[in-house]
């Protein structure tokens, strides 16, 4: 695989894995640490003729790969995927090798799901927001009030999947792990949003529902588009603001065009699920498949969540160091309560709609809240 990465602190992750309820054991071995992240984005590797017996897999992602070093250096989704690829190459002793196509160089956000199912690529990261109606139960957990941070959210989403609540929605692929971003924040071109009244009538970009419905319930004007189009829409003035996590404000460059940023603790989080083509997975030799099986699931959901938390703190420092604009505004608890009250009817409506489809929405929501309390109690 082209490019190097520096690894997540494994001592912390090993400790996390042992205390988390239902977590599998972590991988027995991992890639030896490297000294520093690359200073240039990874470019797609060129196809080569694999050695006899080598299994070559194509992996791809759509997010921007890197951000300023002082803001964390790597986008957490690529970071975790590359960590996993290095681990797989190491543990299979080179029998598995990867061609990696980042930054929509093979599949974009909107064609990732079909592209993985059809075998255009073997492994990729699916943004649930981009596929309305395809993952109804998975996507319903994106409304606010469920999770405090990416680590909590990723762990709960993975456990919900492992317990079978939404497994059928992912039957067409092999799920490697579930993960999410940090709770959504909002960046605005013209003013810092501190109250509901500040949001009224503003055109706000986001990928899809339920976020768009929540924006409308708050009094904003929702505008649907891929996250990769947010920057251009802000630059042209097509929208006034973008509904994106703080990491996304930096990695997509949104803070350049919409410098007034408000963070909303406890807001919704977006599912980003790393999946593998099912036929390719089933074609693996038994010994290789066994290595894949132990290198998926909760451990990597937690790797991702820990990395996102690290990036989140670095992004806040980076944004607060800007000159000429106010620091990131953290929405106070009393004001958040006003915002989240607007989500309660949406959560109940989503539950009723999903139950009418025969899906266990209320049971899933209750289990998600129960798991969140457990993981929060453990310090996650």
pLDDT of residue 65: 83
Q: Cα-atom radius of gyration of the chain, to the nearest Å?
A: 20
Distance separating alpha carbons of residues 185 and 328, to the nearest angstrom: 10
The residue to which tokens 């299994």 are assigned: 55
Q: Which of 56, 87, 57, 127 is CA-nearest to residue 276?
A: 57
pLDDT tens digits, residue range 313-325?
999 999 999 999 9
Q: Which 3-state string (H, E, C) describes 77-96?
A: HHHHHHHHHHHHHHHCCCCE
pLDDT of residue 67: 83
Considering only residues 336 and 2, tell me which one the structure prediction assigns the higher pLDDT. 336
Distance separating alpha carbons of residues 168 and 171, to the nearest angstrom: 5
CA angle 65, 66, 70 (to 5 degrees): 160
Share of residues in the chain with pLDDT > 70 (%) = 86
Same fold, 10-181+270-315 and 185-267+323-377: yes
**pLDDT at residue 84 is higher than 70:** yes
Domain boundaries, the chain: 10-181+270-315, 185-267+323-377
Q: Which of 141, 192, 134 is CA-nearest to residue 322?
A: 192
Give the least confident one: 2-16, 26-40, 186-200: 26-40
pLDDT of residue 209: 83
Distances from the Cα of 240 to the Cα of 224, 227, 325, angstroms: 13, 15, 17
pLDDT category at 377 given cuts 50, 70, 90 is: very high
Q: Which of 120, 8, 2 is CA-nearest to residue 60?
A: 120
Claim: this prediction has a pTM higher than 0.85: no
- 189 within 8 A of 241, measured Cβ to Cβ: yes
- 193 within 8 A of 186, measured Cβ to Cβ: yes
pLDDT category at 52 given cuts 50, 70, 90 is: low
Q: Which of 160, 191, 144 is CA-nearest to residue 344?
A: 144
Q: Where are the alpha helices (DSSP H) in the chain?
A: 10-19, 76-91, 112-118, 136-140, 150-162, 196-199, 211-217, 230-236, 246-251, 254-257, 278-282, 286-294, 298-320, 333-341, 344-356, 361-377
Pick the CATH number of 185-267+323-377 from 3.40.50.720, 3.40.190.10, 1.10.10.10, 2.30.29.30: 3.40.190.10
- Which helix (H) or strand (E) covers residue 124, if one does? strand 123-127
Q: Using DSSP, state whether 107 is helix, strand or coil.
A: coil
- Which strands make up the sheet holding 260-263, listed edge to edge? 221-224, 203-206, 241-244, 185-188, 260-263, 329-330
- CATH of segment(s) 10-181+270-315: 3.40.190.170
Cβ contacts of 186 within 8 Å, gap of 6 or more: 193, 199, 204, 241, 242, 243, 244, 261, 262, 264
pLDDT tens digits, residue range 104-156?
999 999 999 999 999 999 999 999 988 989 999 999 888 888 899 999 999 99
pLDDT category at 352 given cuts 50, 70, 90 is: very high
Q: Using DSSP, state whether 7 is helix, strand or coil.
A: coil
pLDDT category at 349 given cuts 50, 70, 90 is: very high
pLDDT category at 51 given cuts 50, 70, 90 is: low
Distance separating alpha carbons of residues 206 and 197, to the nearest angstrom: 20
Distance separating alpha carbons of residues 56 and 286, to the nearest angstrom: 16
Residue 61 C-beta-side C-alpha neighbours within 13 Å: 21
Distance separating alpha carbons of residues 238 and 361, to the nearest angstrom: 36
DSSP per residue, 163-190: TTSSGGGGTTEEEEEEEE-SPPEEEESS
Tokens of 51: 């050695």
Give the least confident one: 62-71, 163-172, 239-248: 62-71
């Amino acid at each position: 695989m082209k490019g190097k990465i520096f690894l997540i602190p494994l001592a912390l992750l090993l400790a996390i894995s042992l205390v988390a309820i239902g977590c599998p054991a972590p991988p027995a071995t991992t890639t030896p640490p490297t000294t520093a992240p690359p200073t240039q984005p990874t470019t797609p590797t060129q196809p080569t003729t694999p050695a006899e017996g080598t299994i070559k897999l194509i992996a791809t992602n759509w997010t921007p790969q890197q951000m300023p070093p002082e803001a964390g250096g790597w986008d957490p989704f690529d970071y975790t995927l590359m960590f996993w690829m290095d681990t797989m190459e190491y543990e299979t002793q080179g029998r598995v090798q990867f061609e990696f196509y980042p930054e929509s160089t093979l599949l974009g956000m909107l064609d990732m799901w079909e592209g993985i199912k059809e075998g255009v690529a073997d492994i990729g990261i699916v943004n649930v927001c981009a596929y309305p109606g395809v993952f109804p139960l998975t996507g319903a957990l994106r409304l606010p009030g469920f999770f405090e941070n990416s680590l909590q959210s990723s762990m709960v989403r993975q456990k919900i999947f492992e317990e079978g609540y939404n497994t059928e929605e992912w039957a067409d692929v092999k799920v490697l792990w579930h993960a999410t971003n940090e709770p959504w924040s909002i960046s605005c071109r013209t003013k810092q949003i501190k109250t509901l009244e500040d949001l009224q009538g503003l055109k706000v970009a986001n990928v899809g529902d339920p976020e768009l419905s929540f924006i409308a319930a708050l009094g904003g004007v929702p505008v649907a588009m891929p996250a990769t189009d947010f920057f251009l829409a802000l630059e042209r003035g097509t929208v006034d603001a973008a509904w994106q996590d703080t990491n996304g404000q930096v990695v997509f460059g949104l803070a350049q065009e919409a410098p007034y940023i408000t963070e909303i603790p406890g807001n919704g989080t977006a599912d980003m699920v790393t999946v593998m083509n099912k036929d390719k997975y089933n074609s693996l030799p038994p010994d290789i498949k066994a290595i894949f099986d132990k290198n998926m699931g909760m451990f990597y959901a937690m790797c991702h969540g820990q990395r996102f938390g690290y990036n989140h703190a670095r992004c806040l420092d980076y944004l607060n160091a800007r000159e000429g604009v106010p620091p990131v505004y953290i929405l106070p608890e009393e004001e958040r309560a006003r915002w989240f009250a607007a989500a309660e009817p949406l959560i109940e409506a989503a539950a009723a709609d999903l139950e009418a489809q025969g899906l266990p929405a209320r049971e899933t929501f209750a289990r998600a809240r129960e798991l969140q309390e457990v993981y929060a109690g453990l310090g996650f």
